[in-house]
Amino acid sequence: MADQTIIPVIHEHIASTPGVCGGKPCIRGTRIRVQDIFVWHEIQAKTPEQIAAEFPQLSLADVHAALAYYYDNRGAIAVEMREAEVLLRKMKAELGPGLLNSSFCCFTASNEIK
């Protein structure tokens, strides 16, 4: 068997940078997280082509690399997503309803302030 050279293709597209999106893996040179690509693809049922078309700064290879990275690291990313959800719920409970939830900012069907 001939010697094989392993090319780290995913690392050309994905980076984790301290201070950018909390150090979560992102498409290199953007603030678009791997988990965002996962959500758009798996939960919102967008194709990689649709995602790349909606974000012209992304190549189709970027989207596929993000999905490959997610599937290689789905356990750790799922934990991060759950932790973020728990933190969000905690913050909402501590802060209470915001202005958009109050009667201050509610409109009737005729668009008149209530």
Q: Measuring CA to CA, which residue among 25, 67, 70, 29 is closest to residue 46? A: 67
Number of H helices and number of E strands within the chain? 5, 2
β-bridge partners, 107: 113
The domain that contains 31 carries what CATH number?
A: 1.10.10.10
Nearest to 78 by CA among 48, 35, 45: 35
Q: What is the pLDDT of residue 5?
A: 60
Q: Which domain holds residue 26?
A: 9-105
| In a domain? residue 35 | yes
Residue 72 is assigned to a structural domain of this protein: yes
Compute the distance between CA of residue 65 and CA of residue 24 in angstroms, rounded to an integer: 15
Residues 71, 65 contacting (CB under 8 angstroms): no
User: Considering its fold, how many domains does the chain have in total?
Assistant: 1
Q: Per-residue confidence of the chain (114 residues) as pLDDT tens digits?
A: 567 666 677 889 999 999 999 999 999 999 999 999 999 999 999 999 999 999 999 999 999 999 999 999 999 999 999 998 999 899 888 888 776 665 544 444 444 444
